Amino acid sequence: MYRLQVRPYIPSPLYCVRCQLFGHIALKCTREPKCVCGKTPQGGKPCETPYKCVNCEDTHSARDPKCSKYLQEVAIQKVKITEKLSYAEAKRKVIINTPIPGLSYAQSMQSPTKWAMKPRIIKELIPQLTQVVNQIMKEFVNK
Ligand SMILES: [Zn+2]
Ligand SMILES: [Zn+2]
Ligand SMILES: [Zn+2]
C-alpha cells in the first residue's frame, strides 16, 4: 500500500492593514492604527512620507516579503500548521530555535520573546530563520 506524502497547506501570515502588525486581521485589531510610514495615519490622505516598517524599522512597507519580521511570521506559520500548535506556541518555538547574534544561549533563554522581538535583532535573524524553517520541515517529513 502506498502512503502519499501530503504537504500541508501553509497559508500566508495574517497581516493587519490597520496597525501593520502580523498575527491578526484589521477586523480584530485592538491596537493604535499605524500608517505604512510608521506614524499615526493622517485621516485617509495618501501618505507622502517614505515607508518605514513598523516591524523592523527598515525603509519598506510592513508587507514587504523581504522583511525579516515577515519571514519570521512565515516561519511561525509553518510551525503552527505542521505541528498543529497555537500561534503563541509556534511563535515561542521559532524564537527559541533561532539563535540571536551577539547573545549567548543563556542570555537569550532568559527572555527569548523580549530579545527576538526587537526590530534591530529581527533584522539580523534572516539567515537563521531560513535554517530554522528548513530544520522544522525536515523533522516533520521524517516523522
Ligand atoms: Zn492590527
Ligand atoms: Zn504615513
Ligand atoms: Zn520590515
Q: What is the mean pLDDT of the chain?
A: 79
Ligand nearest to the CA of 40: 2
pLDDT digits (tens, 9 = 90+) for 57-96: 889 988 888 888 888 888 888 889 988 999 888 888 888 7
Q: Collect all residues with Cβ–Cβ distance below 8 Å to 56 and sequence separation of at least 6.
A: 67, 68, 69, 119, 120, 122, 123
Averaged pLDDT, 36-63:
85
Mean pLDDT check: name the lowest of 47-51, 88-92, 98-102: 98-102
For the cut 70, the answer to whether the pLDDT of residue 123 exceeds it is no
Q: What is the pLDDT of residue 19?
A: 93
Nearest partner of 101 among 76, 123, 134, 131, judged by Cα: 123
Please give the Cα distance from 139 to 41 (Å, whole number). Answer: 43
Please give the Cα distance from 19 to 17 (Å, whole number). Answer: 6
Ligand nearest to the CA of 62: 3
For the cut 70, the answer to whether the pLDDT of residue 115 exceeds it is no
Distance 97 CA to ligand 3 centre (A): 21
Averaged pLDDT, 109-135:
66
Nearest partner of 120 among 69, 73, 76, judged by Cα: 69
Q: What is the pLDDT of residue 116?
A: 58
Contact 16, 24 (CB under 8 A): yes
For the cut 70, the answer to whether the pLDDT of residue 111 exceeds it is no
Distance 113 CA to ligand 1 centre (A): 19
Helix (H, G, I), strand (E, B) or coil at 22: strand
Mean pLDDT check: name the lowest of 16-20, 34-38, 98-102, 139-143: 139-143
Q: What is the pLDDT of residue 16?
A: 93
Please give the Cα distance from 94 to 126 (Å, whole number). Answer: 12
Domain ranges of the chain: 26-142
Averaged pLDDT, 20-36:
91
